[in-house]
Structure 1
Amino acid sequence: MSPSPSIPAGGATPTIRVAHVIHSLGAGGAEHVLVELADVAGAAGLEIVVIGLSPVDEPVHAATLRAKGVTVLQLELARWDPRAILHVATALRRHRIDVVHTHLKHADLVGSIAGRALGRPVVSTLHLIEDAPVGRMATLKRRLGVWGRRLATTTIAVSSAQASWYRELAGRADTVVLPNGVAAPGTLGAEDRATVRRELGAGEGKVLAVTASLMRPEKGHALLLDAVERIPADAGIVFALAGDGPLRAELEARVAATAALRDRVRFLGYRDDVPALLAAADLVVHPSLADALPTTLMHALGVGTPVVATRVGGIADIVTPDTGVLAEPEPAALADAVVALAGDRARRTEMGAAGRLRFERRFSSAVWSAGLRAIYEDALPAR
């Protein structure tokens, strides 16, 4: 029997207790989503418990969530260990959970079975648009994830493109589109902005273009460098690349060996001040080859910096013609879009203002948490 949400005295909105089940709590986009949610859950009448299934070398998000007052349970079980189902079910009972919310394939399977066994509604968020798996094991894992989500009451896609992909993959038409949200970025004063720009070599008369993402093949850094090579040196554009990842050494070697790139491309490594970098930029360039809903572009809208991005995945759900430019994922198109926007300051100013408005209406964490609350209420039995 499913418990009723805790109803406070005085007719206030009842609190819904939600267990978020995820494969682990190391660094990663899906894991960071829970950190964003922790800051706004209370205002939406949500109390969250986070269950990490498997160990990870640096569980950075577990520490962050605990610091925010969130109850975090780390099961420390090997990936796909069937005992996780019993442990999760025990935690759901102990913490009197109303709704189970799962993230990523492993947790989708474990959380869905445990939740349904106890009569709790299950919500699953998709975080990726996956290519066809290679090999039998990868195929089996994807099938298990799809099967687990079939037990869910609701499956959330974070973009319309992701929803279309999943409907075709799973043969289900009941996927709900709700983009994740992020906290409103802080403002950057004129003096701080000037300091950041000087540090990046974007002095007077230069246009600063920032890219912030993990350096993995699908993020398109090689495409970006191909585009930069096509941009005339007298365009006066400095490209700053924030992020780390397996391709960083290869990309740095290419830049160091190429005269057309050496003086215009900066590698910043991992940064914990990405919103400030985006606010200091004249434009944000996102050359991804596949992306469900990149958080960087939400932050770009929030700080009022226009975007040049590739027309792939869910990017078009974020970047509209009044907030940025979408280009086909090929070097000439990307280069032309960057040059055109870099040379049009008035257009950049208009796009920045439109971006801030779009952020508040569509991608703020408050809008997102309210949307989650509505989905949970629909999934719960009548009160």
Structure 2
Amino acid sequence: MTEQSPLRGRRIVEVLATSAGGVGSHIRTIVPAIRAAGASVRVCGAPATEQLFGFTATGADFRPVGISSGLDPFADGRAVLQLRGALEGADLLHAHGLRAGLVAAVARRASGAPARPLVLTLHNALQENSGPKQRLLRALEGRTIRAADMVLAVSGDLADNARRLGARDVRVVPALAPALAPAARSRDEVREELGLDAGRPLVVAVGRLHPQKGYDVLLDAVARWESDGRLRPAPLVAIAGDGPLEEQLAGRIRAERLPVLLLGRRSDVADLLGAADLCVLPSRWEGSPFTGQEALRAGTPLVATRAGGMPELFGDAAAFVPVGDAGALADAVVAVLDDPARADQLAAAGPLQAAGWPDEEAAGRQIAAVYRELLGAPGGAA
């Protein structure tokens, strides 16, 4: 290897569990920089993940490894065998998320090459629940974190937790959303599609319909501002995303006649943000959420919970509320929509905050520098 191409000839294996959002996008973002540094990249994950993100379009090799989102001993055993085969010729293994990290740690040991470096990126925290399953998950979390040669945490709280659990080396490396394509339609065109009358506010939420995202709390907040009449005309709330809670949320929206639209998974997030008066992120937990990043870049005022790394990432460019507090969420939405000066302040602060984040190429180079360091190649401090 030469100093100009410190990773040339190396093979990097990226591993992820089933993903429909940020983790898959993050890997797709970093692959070009790793390849530009001279390494080949193999991505291992569920076939549906490749269909969604198209890793091979970035020049990566893809191998199917079925890592589920929840503990399943039989499925996990199959995933270990699949990944063990995919590790042939690999110089470094990078697992994204605790589920992928657990399978990767076992497969590395089973492959007979335990000296092969293992990087673990933590994208989210385990949630505080009680019972035997949660105690098992906590134990596995610690073992997985300690098995990694380096832990990359997308936020400071995840880094602190990894250190408490005995991680050898921890770095904070936010997962940054790739830039959205410019909006293809005007604000008026999007609002017309959604059936909005002139002057009626539009509140947008983007994310998987999963308990993590706190959409039940958002519906509680909508019911509050509908009943107390503080917002007239009342906003229309549009939620873009799909997931396991779709039927449950749709049933509640119908039963309570809430002014909420479930739009399904959308490819026009830039259009929605451009048409919105406000973006909400009512999540119960987050690391480095793409939706909030996209809202700030677009200059769309953001109301978010104080979950995980969001206060650290968004700074003064968002209005924050406690996790799970529907009353506080309703109050914050009302406060922004009722105060044009406050809305303008948040809209202006968003792009300024986002300007301080690395771009996609810089984020990829940061990951490549980690690989150089662990492989002992020249240029590791770059």
User: The TM-score by the shorter chain falls in which range?
Assistant: 0.7 to 0.9
Whether the 8 Å contact between 1:41 and 1:47 is mirrored in structure 2 is yes
* TM-score, reference length from structure 2: 0.83
Distance 1:12 1:349, change over 3 A: farther
Q: Which residue of 1 aligns with 2:70?
A: none
Q: Which residue in 2 is equivalent to 1:69?
A: 59
What is the aligned partner in structure 1 of residue 30 from structure 2? 37
1:280 equivalent in alignment to 2:278: no
Amino acid of the structure 2 residue aligned with 1:73: R
**Other-structure match for 2:247:** 249
1:218 to 1:314, Cα distance in 2 relative to 1, 3 A: same
SS in 1 for 2:182: coil
Contact 1:108 1:145 in 2 (8 A): no
Q: What is residue 218 of structure 1 aligned with on the other side?
A: 212
Tell me: CA distance 1:356–1:247, structure 2 relative to 1, closer, same or farther (3 Å): same
Given candidates 19, 40, 51, the residue that maps to 2:13 is: 19
1:358 is the counterpart of 2:353? yes
Retained in 2: the 8 A contact 1:115–1:121? no
Question: Counterpart of 2:291?
Answer: 296
Deviation at 1:285, TM superposition (A): 0.5
Q: Distance in 2 between matches of 1:40 and 1:300?
A: 25
Structure 1 residues 21 and 331, CA, compared in 2 at 3 Å: closer, same or farther?
closer
Contact 1:188 1:280 in 2 (8 A): no
Q: Which AA in structure 2 matches 1:69? A: G
Amino acid in the other structure paired with 2:161: W
Q: Which amino acid aligns with 2:29?
A: E
1:102-121 to 2 correspondences below 5 Å: 102-112=95-105, 115=108, 117=113, 119-121=115-117
Provide the C-alpha distance between the structure 2 equivalents of 1:359 and 1:307, rounded to a whole number of angstroms.
13
Partners of 1:82 and 1:230 lie apart in 2 by 48
Match of 1:194 among 183, 188, 192: 188
Write the letter of the residue equivalent to 1:244.
D
- The answer for the alignment partner of 2:173 in structure 1 is 178
Distance in 1 of aligned mates of 2:292 and 2:277: 14
- Give the 3-state SS of the residue equivalent to 2:80 in structure 1: helix
Moved more, 175-184 or 132-141: 132-141
- CA RMSD, aligned part only? 3.0
- % identity of equivalent residues: 33
Q: Which moved more, 1:178-187 or 1:103-112?
A: 103-112
Provide the C-alpha distance between the structure 2 equivalents of 1:207 and 1:200, rounded to a whole number of angstroms.
12
Q: What are the ranges of 5 or more consecutive residues in structure 2 without an aligned counterpart?
A: 68-73
Aligned residue for 1:49, secondary structure, equals strand
User: Is residue 41 of structure 2 the alignment partner of residue 48 of structure 1?
Assistant: yes
One-letter amino acid of the counterpart of residue 119, structure 1: A
Counterpart residue identity of residue 139, structure 2: R
Q: 1:101 aligns with which of 74, 82, 94?
A: 94
| Distance in 1 (alpha carbons) for counterparts of 2:198 and 2:39 | 48
SS in 2 for 1:367: helix
In the TM superposition, residue 158 of structure 1 has moved relative to its aligned partner by 0.8
* Residues 100 and 355 of structure 1: CA distance in aligned 2, closer, same or farther (over 3 Å): same
* SS class of match (1:234): coil
Quote the offset at 1:48 in angstroms.
1.9
* 3-state SS, counterpart of residue 232 of structure 2: helix
TM-aligned CA distance change 1:258 to 1:131, over 3 Å: same
Contact 1:185 1:299 (C-alpha < 8 Å) held by counterparts:
yes
Mapped to 2, the partners of 1:199 and 1:308 lie a distance apart of 24
Question: Does the Cα contact within 8 Å between 2:12 and 2:91 map onto a contact in 1?
Answer: yes
Cα distance in 1 for residues equivalent to 2:255 and 2:246: 14
> Structure 1 residue 334 and structure 2 residue 329: aligned?
yes
Supply the AA of the counterpart residue of 2:25: H
Stretch moving more, 43-52 or 243-252:
43-52
Structure 2 CA distance for aligned equivalents of residues 295 and 45 of structure 1: 28
Q: Aligned partners of 2:27, 2:220: CA distance in 1, in Å?
A: 35
Indicate yes or no: 2:152 matched with 1:162: no
1:365-380 correspondence to structure 2 within 5 Å:
365-380=360-375
Give the SS at the match of 1:361: coil
Q: How many residue pairs end up in the alignment?
A: 363
Please name the residue that 1:3 is paired with: none
Asked if the contact 1:154–1:174 (Cα under 8 Å) also holds between the matched residues in 2, the reply is: yes
Distance change (3 Å), C-alpha of 1:275 and 1:115: farther
How many Å separate the matches in 1 of 2:38 and 2:276? Answer: 36
SS in 1 for 2:304: strand
Contact 1:243-1:270 within 8 A present in 2 as well: yes
- The answer to whether structure 1 residue 81 and structure 2 residue 74 are counterparts is no
Query: What SS is found at the alignment partner of 1:228?
Result: helix
